[in-house]
Chain A
Amino acid sequence: MPAFPEAAHEAVHNQTLRGNLRHATHTIRAKRANAVAEVSDWAELREAGKQIKDHTLRHLDRYLVQLEESVTAAGGTVHWAADADEANRIVTSLVKATGESEVVKVKSMATQEIGLNEALEAEGVNAYETDLAELIVQLGKDRPSHILVPAIHRNRGEIREIFAREMSEWGRPAPEGLTDTPAELADAARLHLREKFLRAKVGVSGANFMVAETGTLVVVESEGNGRMCLTLPETLISVVGIEKIVPTWQDLEVFLQTLPRSSTAERMNPYTSMWTGTTDEDGPRAFHLVLIDNGRTDTLADEVGRQALRCIRCSACLNVCPVYERAGGHAYGSVYPGPIGAILSPQLRGTESEIDASLPYASSLCGACYEVCPVAIDIPEVLVHLRERVVQGGAVTREGAKVVLKPAKGHAAERAAMRAARWAFGRPGVLRTGQRLASRTRRFHPRTLPGPGRAWSETRSLPAVPAEPFRDWWQRTKGGQETRGGKDTSK
């Protein structure tokens, strides 16, 4: 996986992609702003969401045990997975135990994070995505590029083409003469998926929330396809990150208001499905909950970074991010793109790889993401914190143990420059000498820069160095005494 700047390079110059992304994010951005403005106590809701999440994270051990007890009491089985491999092994063996070779899936970030579809496929099990956008991505042999709208980078023409070409490979083919009108595309998907729903014996889902006191899992969605997967199959396997827990049923009140408005700009999401264990003669007869850690407790150990675990995956931060809008989701090299991806992935996976070391820098720190986040994650603060980890190394928790990271490679020149600048800035005299030198040699300054500065000067002109820095003017004119009230003679 290349580092973010290289990965973004192509996207920035792909005009179709830029247009698709720009259109989609600007539309939803404006709608979200209206939906949020309708709620008079938005600031209080945001604060409440933040506090519920922080409280839960602080007592995560306790609530997880409570959840396990309630799920078990309701007839479900809880499995614990420390990492992606373990989670995949558990799910695969659960599916195989049913004797089935296909599963229908509710859109889920957690299963993408662990690469479940690939793991199942390796064991001869086909996993069918049933969320419309996720289906487009899967049929297109593509990767999702948005949390909520995984196919945001595709336009209708591209989708029509994918349906017409691929659907017949996996089930019911697309109707003859399919056009790219939204109604026809939706219809094609509905027919294709209906067959799958009616046939499937195993459903796999994630969850938006898990309620510790009752053992209830909650999925919110817009299409109702998720509900089909949650109710029709005989076996339901839910794979959920341990941070998705809330203590009580009542806590949902806050998130069921903030999540739909932040994500789809709806007052209420169209389908809210809740299930608690198993019920006789209704819904799945077997329910398994696979709780995954996969870097979460390590993240929890970091005082600054842990706030990323508050995330409710609404994707509002993606939709306002100017960097995401230009670079697209694929450039982030993880299932979590955009601002939240830039802080979550390097924490869950560590900052050692090139892509993970570059993600904390994939932001201009403009702060738009923090402003919209419904659980007030200070994303810029965490970005800077992770930058520090990249360039300076330091103590982190990895698989429960404290380790000391070395600074990432490739920052030596920058580090030296920063030290030199700090040294000069610590000495006003040195700074002044430098300024004077720059002024005196200003005729010889290149209009393009060498080394790392080249990228800058390729697309922007550099400012000319003035004849005299301010401090020299101040001293020469005694703080502008000569010019106060009169003409400035310095020019």
Chain B
Amino acid sequence: MRVALFLTCVNDTLYPDTGRAVVKLLTKLGVDVDFPMAQTCCGQAHYNTGYRHEAEPLARHFSDVFGGYDAIVTPSGSCGAMVRELYPRMGERARAEGRGDGLATALAPVVPKTYELTEFLVDVLKVTDVGAYYPHTVTYHPTCHGLRSLGLGDRPRRLLQAVRGLELKELPGADECCGFGGTFALKNSDVSAAMGADKVRNAESTGADVLCAADNSCLMHIGGTMTRLRTGMRPVHIAEILASTEEERA
């Protein structure tokens, strides 16, 4: 199976550790993972801000780069949702606008092959115990796109529960949005910040040392709020927890 890592532009630029963790984890599980160097951005920020036409060439580029792989794995719930939920919609809209089937046909191959990391582990590799060791108290924030667009369900929690040394704490109001929402954080900064602060307070109430999620964009927002509110909690991507082993303590 030819597996490609789709790291997303945010992870690549700001969170390379997450990428390294995914590579380490998948390699350990026997997957030969490739990182196509031509990859850039799925176009989510463009699409969701109202620039669908600017997003189209990025989606096409994504399809060109990843079309030839058997599976595309991404550690970002929202970028995964972009491909799986919104690429088909972009194709339909182009058709409805009388631009033919070109876009739909170009994007179709990547849609069913794109997996969010925890989905890939549980559904494709069929593992829940990845042999990780992480001696911390952790609370898990499901993120909206992972929860509602991709329907990740309890997959991430099952993976975390199997991690040795890890104590999982339930997050109150877990399914509430953290307030990031891409350009929403800029355009509606007051509301976004209030949502972030509430999320952080809920996380704090669990007494966990670490808040974990499957999306670095939400973690950037939550983590930035944690720093400002001086909570002493850390935001950590789930891939980094699952890639931790006893030999190299995280």
- Which A residues contact B (CB, under 8 angstroms)? 4-5, 8-9, 12-13, 18, 303-304, 322-323, 326-327, 360-368, 370-371, 381, 384, 386-392, 414-415, 418-419, 421-422, 424-428, 431, 435, 438, 452-453, 455-456, 458-463, 465-466, 468-471, 473-475, 479-480, 483-485, 487-488, 490
Known A425-B9, A460-B225, A471-B35; contact A363-B190, beta-carbon cutoff 8 A? no
A479 touches B20 (CB 8 A): no
**CB proximity of A245 to chain B, nearest CB, Å:** 26
- Whether B14 contacts A465 by the Cβ 8 Å rule is yes
Q: Which residue of B lies closest to A362 (CB)?
A: B188
B220 to chain A, nearest CB (A): 5
**Closest chain A residue, CB of each to CB of B57:** A426
| Closest chain A residue, CB of each to CB of B51 | A418
Asked whether, in the complex, the Cβ of B20 is within 8 Å of the Cβ of A470, the reply is yes
* B201 at interface, CB cutoff 8 A: no
Query: Could you give 13 example pairs across A and B, Cβ below 8 Å?
Result: A8-B191, A18-B194, A367-B144, A367-B149, A368-B176, A425-B9, A455-B190, A463-B220, A465-B13, A469-B12, A470-B35, A479-B34, A488-B24
Residue of B nearest to A424 (CB): B40
Bound Cα distance A466, B18 (Å)? 12
In the assembled complex, the CB of A327 is this many whole angstroms from the nearest CB of chain B, namely 5
Q: Are B27 and A484 interface neighbours, CB within 8 A?
A: yes
Supposing A426-B57, A460-B196, A470-B16 touch, asked if A322 and B179 sit within 8 A by C-beta, the answer is yes
Cα-based distance from A330 to B17 in the complex (angstroms): 44
B46 within 8 A of A: yes
Question: In this assembly, does B23 line the interface, its C-beta being within 8 Å of a C-beta of chain A?
Answer: yes
- Complex: A98 Cα to B35 Cα, angstroms: 78
Give chain A residues whose Cβ lies under 8 Å from the Cβ of B53. Answer: 392
Most buried by B among A9, A366, A370, A485: A366
Q: Which residue on chain B has the smallest CB distance to residue A472?
A: B16
List B32-91 residues whose CB lies under 8 Å from chain A. 33-35, 37-41, 43, 45-55, 57-58, 61, 89
Besides A368-B175, A428-B39, 13 new A-B residue pairs in contact (Cβ under 8 A), listed by A number: A5-B190, A12-B190, A368-B144, A388-B51, A388-B52, A390-B50, A422-B54, A425-B41, A431-B9, A458-B193, A460-B225, A468-B16, A470-B19
A421 and B45 within 8 A (CB): yes
Contact B46 A326 (CB under 8 A): no
A363 contacts which chain B residues (CB < 8 A)?
Answer: 181, 184
